[in-house]
Structure formats: structure tokens, C-alpha cells
Chain A
């Protein structure tokens, strides 16, 4: 199966501080659904920020073999105070797929509509984002990432602050995305119970990769990935 991304000997430090990540090697195949887990402060978010290009490694090499990347940051929220509808948010995610100048074309409007529908928010498309529940808002942000038709979808703690029902809805949505669109998904979480049954691979990060394999092979002491004892 072709590679979606490869990290070779990646080390990262903020300024002169001790490295957050040390000599990370990681291959992810296309269409894989990988959970990246580990304790808070273990370097999960730094790892995905390196993968999506928001940080540059101090040393090592990162190779992405995908055309478009969709990214849902931790505690995603719109960067504006003005009212924002679900459709406007999702349309913003389409900008990377369209020409820079001019209004949205018919194909792009259809892609936005499809993304909104895929996350089950069609009835709320013209509602203000701030009037939706936490789980619905997260799904709207996933729709924004989907509107760019990414080959790699990176989600950083997408279920933080949402109830169990919403967590399960998001997990089911991601499973559908993978099976219907063959999308490569990286799912960062320190508590990923809702997706554990869907992922085929867990990467446990604690400054370095301390486990990489199927959930069934995870040593018992690590089954709660936020566990602090190695």
C-alpha cells in the first residue's frame, strides 16, 4: 500500500528548551486510520503540527505524499467574533480547492453542501455556529476540513468537551469517512475509547514513540493511554 506520510528521525524542541519529541520514525499508509495517543504533554499535538507543516522539525525529515490535508486543531473554534453560519464556516474550508479570485462556482457550492450533509448538519446549515451544541460545532469543523476534499485528515482531540453521545457520533462519522472515501485519518486523543474499535493501529507518544501496533497488542498497563506509568 502506498505511503501517505513518513517521518524519519524527527526531533523537535521549542527554542532552547529540551526536545518535546526525540528521533521519531513513523510511516502511515494511505487509507489507514491511526490513533495517536499518550499523556498530556507527551508531544501528540506537536507531532501532528509537524506533520501538517505548522512547525518545522529541529532535525530529521518529514515527507508527505498526499495532495491536500484537512486539519482540525485542538479546541477548534472560529477565529472571529462576528456571527458565522455553518455554511460560511464550511465554505472557508473550500478556499484551498478553488481559484483564489472570484465567487464560488457551482461545483464548489455542491462540495460545501455535500460536506455539510456528510456530517449530518444539513438542517442547521444556515444557523449560527454559536447556537449549536459542542458536538455539532465539532462536526461543523470536520465538515470544514472535508470541504477541501483532503486525502489526509488530521484531528487533534476532536471529542474534547463533548458528551459521550456526540463522541460516538463523531467516531461513527470518521469510520464512514474512511470506508466511503478511503481517507487517511490521524486521530489524536488521550482518551479514545469511542474509536478504539475502529482504528487498526495505535501510536503511543511520550516524547518518543513507545508503542506502535494494533490495539489488541497494547500492553495492559497502557490501555488507558493517559496512564503515566510506562
Chain B
């Protein structure tokens, strides 16, 4: 399997995505914003379409549009606390509709959009991997350096605000990190399934962990394991890698729930 270059590239990208998605997802899940990943994923589709239209690298256009979409969600959510789901709905549908219109305008409606929506390990190129590795490592470094204030906000947002932490900037950073994760992951699990990889490993980890730090680290381990197992199973069983990876992650949630129930 590893004799094939496209598999080596897929595993390389998968390792970055498997570690990064749950690390970012932890902060979304704990802020009860699990669906933000989905919303930004839909916007990323418009970014892919824009890339086709302008003939630019698709990862970078998806990244740019995802960041704008993510910040828009956070901007609306922060100003209208009770309108979080309305903000998501607006961004969801604008993203998908904008993507379809832009793809059509680019005359690319005949391209295989499935590979972006649900992932395709055949599509990772060497230059993709370089971008994914650089941005992924950068995002993990940012999370490591700002771990304490990010945690302070998810543990008690009002307390952090009273204490003088830059809560708005830290919340915006979280959605930017989510946007980066989604843009990097669309080749492996697809923009419609990446949110699952940000959320499911964190849910599984929280059932078996003993502290917040162990939840994040276990979540990253489960994410990595899910991607590696998903790609391997997909290769041998000729299955779509994105769907297979997410099903593996979903299975870990069931296993963790069972373990937690037995332990009680």
C-alpha cells in the first residue's frame, strides 16, 4: 500500500488532519458550537468554486473563503447571542448556493465535485501536502501557545471577560482555526464530513478521559487513529476514505460510551 505515492501523500495529509481536527474541535464542542464546522464546511465549497473560477489553488481559495465565513458566523453570534443557529443557517445556504453558482460560472459543473464534498485520497498532490503540513503545524503551534487563554474562555466565558481576557479575539481565533482545518481536510474527508472529525473524537475522548488536558490529547489520538484506519480500510475495501474515516470515528464514540457505562 505504501509503495504507491498517492497513498503516502494521503497518509501524510491524514496524519496532520487527524491530529488537528480534534484539537480545534475540542474548543468548538465545549462552546457548544459543534455545528460551526459544518457551516464553515459549506462555505469552503464556495471557496473551491471560486478557485475554479479564478484558476487559483483550491486549498488557498477554500481557506480564504472559510476564514471569512467563520468570522461572519462568530460576528453574528457574538452580537446576537440567541441567533447562533440563524447565523449558521445563513452561512450554510449562502455557501452552498454561492458554490453552485460560482462553479457554474466557471463552466466546471461537470468536474467531480464529489471529491471535495466527501474526500478522495487520489487527489492529494505533493504541493497540497506541503501546504497542509505547513498550515497544520502552524495551527497546532498556535493552539499550544494559546492553550491557557483558549481554555479559560471555554471554561467560563463571562469570567474570562470580567478578568480582562480578549474573549472576542480568542473566539474569532477559534473559528479561524476551524476554517484552516476544514480547508486542509477537504482532500481527505471532504468538506461535508470534516466537521464529524472535529467533533466525534472529542466526544469519545470526553467519555474516557480524566481531565481536560487528557480529553484533548486522547481526542487527537482517536482522530489520528480514525484517519489512519479509515484510509487503510478504504484502500483495501475500495470504499470512500472520508465516509470510512468518519464511520471509524463514530465507532470509537460507541466504544467509549460502552466503556463509560461499564465503568459506572
Contact = CB atoms under 8 A, between A and B. Distances in A.
A96 B163 contact: yes
Interface string A84-128: 110011011101101011111000000000000000000000101
Contact of A83 (B26, B31, B160, B209): B209
B215 interface: yes
B247 interface: no
A89 to B, nearest CB: 6
Interface stretch (B54-62, B82-90, B92-100, B149-157): B149-157
B1 interface: no
A123 to B, nearest CB: 17
B157 A79 contact: yes
Which 4 pairs between the two chains have the least Cβ-Cβ distance? Answer: A96-B163, A95-B152, A80-B30, A82-B215
Nearest to B147: A103
Contacts of A104: 148
Nearest to B26: A82
A53 B161 contact: yes
Interface string B178-222: 000000000000000000000000100110011111110000000
Interface of B: 26, 29-31, 145-146, 148-149, 151-152, 154-166, 202, 205-206, 209-215
A80 B212 contact: yes
Interface string A147-176: 010000000000000000000000000000
A53 B162 contact: yes
A60 interface: no
A68 B146 contact: no
Contacts of A145: 159
A98 B164 CA distance: 11
Given A71-B162, A101-B146, 10 more contacts: A52-B162, A54-B162, A73-B159, A82-B209, A82-B212, A84-B212, A92-B152, A93-B152, A93-B159, A95-B152
Contacts of A78: 155-156
Contacts of A81: 29-30, 206
A126 B212 CA distance: 11
Contact of A79 (B156, B164, B213): B156
Contacts of A71: 158-159, 162-163
B160 to A, nearest CB: 7
B163 A148 contact: yes
Contacts of B155: 78-80, 84, 88-89, 92
Given A80-B212, A88-B211, A95 B30 contact: no
Nearest to B205: A82
15 contacts: A52-B162, A54-B158, A69-B162, A80-B154, A80-B212, A82-B205, A82-B212, A83-B212, A83-B215, A85-B212, A88-B211, A91-B151, A93-B159, A100-B148, A128-B211
